[in-house]
Amino acid sequence: MANSKYEYVKDFEQPDPLLPNTWIVVRIDGRGFHKLSDFYKFEKPNDRRALDLMNAAAAEVMKDLPDLCIAYGVSDEFSFVFHPSSQLFERRSAKLVTTIVSTFTAHYIYLWATFFPSNPLKPPFLPSFDGRAVLYPSTRILRDYMSWRQVDCHINNLYNTTFWTMVLQGKMSNTEAEQELKGTVSSDKNEILFKRFGINYNNEEEIYKKGSVLYRQYALQEPKTIQTSTEDEAVVPEAQQSKTQQEKFKKLRRKAQVVIDHVDIIKDEFWERRPWIISGKPGKLLEQN
């Protein structure tokens, strides 16, 4: 029995290749995590187990897809970054996004019991994530994107830390705390924490203040003293990266360890010491690996 009579329906599939030589950021977000974090009794303002679970799942995604050069997570969101030279799945948008969302979800669900041994999953309330791809045409703008997420992390964490301290330690109602924080700036919140509760925000854990950065680890380099453009290295014309070279790089990347860091990614230092992230060229493997 031939299937040709119906096969014309395949013509309705539309191509969705992403523009070559641009950074691809796939950002995923927890669906309904506000409600979910209540249901599973996440701790406020930050639940360390939930963040560690996010990071563990993200690390598996990084290991599974060596074309990813960096990822950044905060709260229930994670941004995965493909290098401009990546040709994975011919850069088809839906394929890239769904592969990341599904792989992440699979590990998140699988690892749940490890991080929440006493809060078992109860269907139909299973965590899930949506995602989308965004293109960034230059390294400068990609870094601004990363900075945007980390600044957002800081703003939200300072607010949440202050709010929940006022509620949990200060015995204020949610509405009272919200009301008082309306219109305050960072220094106001720092002061509330310090004067009323003796909390120095700077001493809060880095994972809460900075979010989580995942990347492959190689030997760190000295930070540059003279600023020069890394643009040209980063956005190499495809033609100049042969298939063979891409495959070789892919193998080398698989050998590197994926690390989870909680550091400043806004300043140049992070990027200068880890030039492989931007260049796409694997660095020198550490002996420890």
**Binding to a copy of itself, residues 14-53 (CB under 8 A):** 14-17, 19-22, 28, 31
5 binds a copy of itself (CB under 8 A): yes
Chain positions 240 to 279 lying near a copy of itself, rule: CB under 8 A, are none
Consult the annotation and say whether 78 binds a ligand.
Answer: no
Q: Which is nearer to a copy of itself, 174 or 242 (CB)?
A: 242
Is cis: bond before 124, omega within 30 of 0? yes
3-state secondary structure of 257: strand
CB atoms within 10 A of CB 86: 24
Among 44, 47, 52, 95, binds a copy of itself (CB under 8 A): 95
Among 133, 192, 193, 260, binds a copy of itself (CB under 8 A): 133
Handedness of CA 98, 140, 271, 151 (dihedral sign): negative
- Nearest distance, CB of residue 235 and a copy of itself, angstroms: 5
Do residues 166 and 180 make contact, with C-beta atoms less than 8 angstroms apart? yes
Q: How far is CA 212 from CA 26, 51, 119, 167, 193, in A?
A: 16, 9, 24, 26, 24
* Binds a copy of itself by CB under 8 A, chosen from 176, 191, 231, 247: 231
CA-based nearest residue to 168, from 141, 197, 145: 197
User: Which stretch in 68-76, 196-204, 230-238, 268-276 sits in contact with a copy of itself by CB under 8 A?
Assistant: 230-238
Q: Residue ranges for the binding site for Mg(2+)?
A: 29-30, 76
Q: Residue ranges for the binding site?
A: 29-34, 75-76
